[in-house]
C-alpha cells in the first residue's frame, strides 16, 4: 500500500512538471509568433501610451499590409537605436517585455515610436507655420502631446528603401530618430527590425482599451 502511494506521488509530480513545461512552451510560442506584452516605462509616447501601461503587441500586424506613415511600431533597436548612448543611457526608451518572462527584466533593445517616414519620403521640420512637412505637404499631427511643437530640432531627411523614420508623440521628451542624426545610419531603422504594433492596453484596469494609430 505504501509503495502504491509513493508511485502515485511520483506520477503526480511528473504530471505537474510536464504541465508547467507545456505551459511555458505554449507561452513561448505565442510570444514569438502571435502576441507579446510590454510595459511602457516612459512618457515619450504620451498621450497615446502612459508610463506604467502594459500593452499587447501583435506580431502579425504587418503580415498582410505594409507599414504606413502614422503607424505605431514596436521594434528592435539593435544596430540603430540601442548602441548609441547619451549621458543618461540609451537613446529612446527601452520597453520591459513580458517576453522577458513576465516583465521582470528590462529589455533595453526594444522601443516604441510612431512612423513619420517610409521609403521614398522626404521628412522636414518645420514649415514657417511650425508644422512637420512630408513630401512637401504640411501635416497636422492630432496625436501630439498637448503644447508640444512637432520638433524643436530642425531637420530634413530622405528615407531610403527598407528604412523608417520614427518619432515619439511627446516630442519635447522623446529621444528618437532626431537624436541619432549624427550617428551611423542617421536615425533610420530597418523595417525588418519591426516586431509589431500595439493593439490594446491591458493594464492598469482603468485603462483597458483597444489602441488605434491616428493617421493624417
Residues with a catalytic annotation lie at 44, 113
Strand ranges for the chain from DSSP E: 35-39, 54-58, 72-76, 85-86, 89-90, 96-97, 110-117, 122-125, 132-134, 137-139, 155-158, 163-167, 189-190, 194-203, 209-210
Provide CB contacts within 8 A for 32, sequence distance 6+: 59
| Cβ-contact 189, 46 below 8 angstroms | no
Give 197's strand partners: 58
C-alpha–C-alpha distance, residues 17 and 27, integer Å = 15
C-alpha cell of residue 95: 520597453
Q: Which residue has the cell 501630439?
A: 144
DSSP annotation of 188: -
Amino acid at each position: 500500500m505504501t509503495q502504491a502511494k509513493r508511485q502515485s506521488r511520483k506520477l503526480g509530480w511528473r504530471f505537474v512538471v510536464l504541465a508547467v513545461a507545456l505551459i511555458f512552451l505554449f507561452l513561448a510560442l505565442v510570444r514569438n509568433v502571435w502576441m507579446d506584452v510590454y510595459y511602457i516605462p516612459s512618457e515619450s509616447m504620451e498621450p497615446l501610451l502612459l508610463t506604467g501601461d502594459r500593452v499587447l503587441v501583435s506580431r502579425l500586424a504587418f503580415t498582410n499590409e505594409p507599414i504606413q506613415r502614422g503607424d505605431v511600431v514596436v521594434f528592435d533597436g539593435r544596430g540603430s537605436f540601442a548602441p548609441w548612448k547619451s549621458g543618461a543611457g540609451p537613446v529612446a526608451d527601452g520597453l520591459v517585455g513580458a517576453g522577458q518572462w513576465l516583465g521582470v527584466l528590462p529589455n533595453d533593445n526594444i522601443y516604441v515610436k510612431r512612423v513619420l517616414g517610409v521609403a521614398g519620403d522626404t521628412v522636414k521640420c518645420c514649415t514657417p507655420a511650425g508644422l512637420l512637412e512630408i513630401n512637401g505637404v504640411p501635416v497636422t499631427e492630432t496625436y501630439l502631446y498637448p503644447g508640444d511643437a512637432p520638433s524643436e530640432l530642425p531637420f530634413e531627411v530622405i528615407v531610403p528603401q527598407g528604412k523608417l523614420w520614427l518619432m515619439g508623440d511627446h516630442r519635447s521628451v522623446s529621444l528618437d530618430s532626431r537624436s541619432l542624426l549624427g550617428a551611423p545610419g542617421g536615425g533610420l531603422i530597418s523595417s525588418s527590425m519591426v516586431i509589431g504594433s500595439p493593439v490594446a492596453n491591458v493594464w492598469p484596469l482603468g485603462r483597458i482599451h483597444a489602441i488605434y494609430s491616428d493617421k493624417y
